[in-house]
Amino acid sequence: MASDPVVHVIDDDDAARDALGFLLSAANFSIRTYESAKAFLDAIPTTEAGCVITDVRMPEITGLELLRRLKGRGIGWPVIVITGQADVPVAIEAIKTGAVDFIEKPYDAEALLGAVRFALSGHANDARDAQRTEIQQKLATLSPSERLVQEALVEGRSNNSIADDLDSSVRTVEVHRANVMTKMQARSLSHLVRMTLLAAP
């Protein structure tokens, strides 16, 4: 159907763009692909609304700059950002700039498809308040020591670094980390980061 929402895929890497396009097409999503953020921005007036999946690290206009330009134009399409594993600070900035989610490379296909389904559900932005309350309730169950470890993990710190700062053993930090992941029901470190960002006022 022409009115179906479209997943707009932006990546300057041809192979990565094609692979993502194939995955989405196989899952029966309507897609458009673009080799640059500029090509996507130029196409917006004549293309269908939907959600955007963009790589962060692109020449000329980065994924973060794209978020800012969409916001400046008053375009509220949900944006999912693809980041590298070492890009936690960039992912944090993306969420603060308005991205509804970030997915780490190498991404899990089901996690990415789930993020797209959520983004296209029409509730991605509306659901933030409910999610924020739920996450804040989980954060409130952490002990003071667990909260310190949680905050350090979100900053991308290693267990050894956290142990040094807290004047504690690595084993103790590992126990706190396990407790944090259990209490927060976090599937991964990136999931914990996402939840922490959503909980911020």
What sign does the CA torsion over 48, 49, 55, 60 have? Answer: positive
Q: For domain 129-199, say whether CATH 3.40.50.1580 is its number.
A: no
The CATH homologous superfamily for domain 6-126 is: Response regulator (3.40.50.2300)
| pLDDT score of 155 more than 60 | yes
Beta bridge partners, 33, equal 9
The answer to whether domain 6-126 and domain 129-199 are alike in fold is: no
| pLDDT score of 80 more than 70 | yes
Q: Give residue 131's identity as a one-letter amino acid code.
A: Q
Of 58, 68, 51, nearest to 36 (Cα)?
Answer: 58
Measured CA to CA, the distance from residue 40 to residue 45 in angstroms comes to 10
Measured CA to CA, the distance from residue 8 to residue 82 in angstroms comes to 13
List the domain boundaries for the chain: 6-126, 129-199
What's residue 126's pLDDT? 59
| 79, two tokens | 């944006």
For residue 191, the Cα-to-chain-centroid distance in whole angstroms is: 9
Stretch 138-162: mean pLDDT: 90
Contact 53, 20 (CB under 8 A): yes
Mind listing the pLDDT tens digit for each residue in 102-126? 888 888 898 889 889 888 876 555 5
Mind listing the pLDDT tens digit for each residue in 28-79? 999 999 999 999 999 998 888 889 999 988 988 999 999 999 989 988 888 9
